[in-house]
Amino acid sequence: MNLPSTGFAPDLLAGRVAVVTGAASGIGRATAIALAAVGAQVAVSHWRAQEAAAEVVAAIAAAGGHAIAVEADVTSEAQVEALYAHAEAELGEVGIAVHAAGVIQEKSFLDTTAADWDFVVGTDLKAVFLCCRAALVRMAPRGRGTVINIASELGFLGRAQYAPYCAAKAGVIGLTRSLAREFAPALRVNAIAPGPIATPMLSLEHMSAEVLAREIAIPAARAGRPEEVAATAVFLASDLASFFHGQVLGPNGGAWMGG
Ligand SMILES: NC(=O)c1ccc[n+]([C@@H]2O[C@H](COP(=O)([O-])OP(=O)(O)OC[C@H]3O[C@@H](n4cnc5c(N)ncnc54)[C@H](O)[C@@H]3O)[C@@H](O)[C@H]2O)c1
């Protein structure tokens, strides 16, 4: 396949079907492309990003792979269910679920409203619950499948001005570990907690210049590339990670070195 090489065997995930949320941009986009590059068929899930999602699907098709775009607001229970149902109807049994959709908001805690909380935690935590449930309700009776939730190093570190985001991401880690225990040994549920990654989220649109500068004051002295997170997702999705349950892998440039 003519997609950027992942370094993994090109047939590593041949015959597998993946759903990737947030797949029109950033980490989700790179993950959808990387999964397709190693043979998976991919449902490129997006929200209000038809053009960008179509571009991802076209890039995968041009390289000989197969993907479809599916629009879904991950905060909507009905739309998440429809996403998984549609992916299975079009592509077959979903065996890989990567939940990368998310939002971020910089705001002092004292200015944070209940609506802000609901927006951020609703998208970054409740929606991950909805997506995990839609994936696991299908995978559990079959006894096969794997879920990868995109958390954040900030779920460990915390960050001033980002309380709802950090709380949600810490929640994703607790959710992941709970599901890993509940669905093992047949299913594997893991998380990735990236450090600063060069995506639309890591920009002046969402962060002050001061926070942006602090984000890359880490041992690696740079922001990561979305492909560096996607490689972690490919690994976790594959049988190479067959002994990984409830783990939180950290492509983070050394921003966080705890467990
Ligand atoms: N970029 C970073 O530094 C960084 C670091 C740690 C974790 N993350 C996490 O990685 C994930 C991907 O973020 P990214 O950096 O690629 O940024 P991004 O903004 O490119 O991607 C987020 C995607 O989520 C989608 N989305 C937002 N709300 C949605 C909704 N209600 N329904 C469906 N889709 C929705 C957006 O359309 C977008 O495509 C997020 O969960 C983010 O919190 C990012």
Closest-lying ligand 1 atom to the alpha carbon of residue 154: 6
Cβ < 6 A, ligand 1 pocket: 21-22, 24-28, 47, 49, 73-75, 100-104, 123, 150, 152, 194, 196-197, 199-202
Residue range 24-64, pLDDT digits in tens: 999 999 999 999 999 999 999 999 999 999 999 999 999 99
Per-chain mean pLDDT for the chain: 96
Q: Candidates 19, 192, 199: which one to mutate for ligand 1, based on the most atoms within 8 Å of Cβ?
A: 199
Contacts of 224 (CB under 8 A, 6+ apart): 194, 195, 196, 197, 198, 251, 252, 253
CA gap 25, 244 in Å, rounded: 27
CA gap 27, 229 in Å, rounded: 7
Residue range 72-94, pLDDT digits in tens: 999 999 999 999 999 999 999 99
Closest-lying ligand 1 atom to the alpha carbon of residue 52: 39
What confidence score (pLDDT) does residue 211 get? 86
What confidence score (pLDDT) does residue 259 get? 64
Nearest CA to ligand 1 atom 28: 102
What confidence score (pLDDT) does residue 206 get? 87
Closest CA to 47 of 25, 29, 73: 73
Q: What is the pTM of this model?
A: 0.98
What confidence score (pLDDT) does residue 40 get? 98
Q: Which of 84, 156, 162, 165 is catalytic?
A: 165
CATH no. of 17-245: 3.40.50.720
What confidence score (pLDDT) does residue 2 get? 58
Interval between CA 29 and ligand 1 midpoint (Å): 10
CA gap 178, 167 in Å, rounded: 16
For the chain, residues with pLDDT lower than 50 are none
Concerning whether 162 is annotated as a catalytic residue, the answer is no
